Chain A
Amino acid sequence: MRNIFLVTLFVFFISAQLAMGSERDINIYKNIRCLVCQGQSLNDSNSDFAVDLKKVIKKKIINKESDQEIYTYLTVRYGDWILLDPPLKKNTLLLWALPLLFALIGGAFIYMKALISHPKK
């Protein structure tokens, strides 16, 4: 009885580990752009390029490489464009700063309008 319990526990543990592994794969695939498809992530694509790249990433995961190491491997070869969530760098500064800038300008504009229509007494 005890042995059956231990075997069941072992099977559950292994399946949990496998499930965690595949979830990590999918999270990485979702953050990588399929460079030969139009606006698809690696996870959504079954093109030759995507299938090959998934195999390479899978191998790296099995070799216990971290997510960051995998992203660096890819950006060295394909540039930041391969990441769907581009890092904050000198050449992506505009991309990150523009929404914030527009929010600030818009906020200031609304505040000024409100101030004009409801002046403080």
Chain B
Amino acid sequence: MKKQFKISLLVFVTVIFFIIFYYSLGANNKNNPNVMLNKMLPTIELTSFTNSNLKQVLPIINKDKYYLINIWSSWCVPCREEHPILMKLKDKIKIYGINYKDKKTNAASFLSKLGNPFYFTGSDNDGSVSIELGAYGIPETYVVSSKGLIVFKHVGPLNKKIYLKISEIIK
């Protein structure tokens, strides 16, 4: 009886440990985009990367049903990969670009070569604007509602699956 109890206890503890480790292994703690979901977009002021007198404050309330924010740079290879998707999205939604730690000339040449999907592009020379948004790196994309809520966030380059997801959200 005593031996049976010990074995049952051992099995119970092992199962509990297995469950905890199983879920912990699957968890993405490194860059969890859900942290900012359904939260108000922090207020940021973007300064145009072509004209420092042009400013744009986000979030914009009650103007467009949804708008998109994309953090990018000309030196970032995944940003180049996702660019055709942004070009496809620009006809469906206003895109505000945040040009992360980039040289003006390189960013301008990137856009003139691959097309400009952005309604407005602001500079983030020291990375502080991206941190204000809770970004981990580039590229990163946010879909914001007219109330200023972040309804979708994607860490990494956009792909066909994410394009369809965003299209579904904003339709």
Contacts and interface: CB of A to CB of B under 8 A. Distances in A.
A36 B32 contact: no
A25 B133 CA distance: 22
Contact of A49 (B29, B39, B128, B136): B136
Interface in B25-62: 29-32, 35-36, 39, 42
A53 B137 contact: no
Contacts, number: 42
A49 B134 CA distance: 11
A35 B39 CA distance: 20
For the complex of A and B, 6 pairs with smallest distance between CB atoms: A77-B134, A52-B127, A79-B35, A81-B29, A56-B131, A56-B128
Given A49-B127, A52-B126, A55-B126, 13 more contacts: A35-B31, A36-B30, A36-B136, A36-B137, A48-B127, A52-B127, A56-B131, A76-B134, A77-B35, A77-B131, A77-B132, A78-B134, A79-B32
Interface of B: 20, 29-32, 35-36, 39, 42, 101, 126-128, 130-134, 136-137
Interface of A: 35-36, 48-49, 51-53, 55-56, 59, 76-79, 81, 94
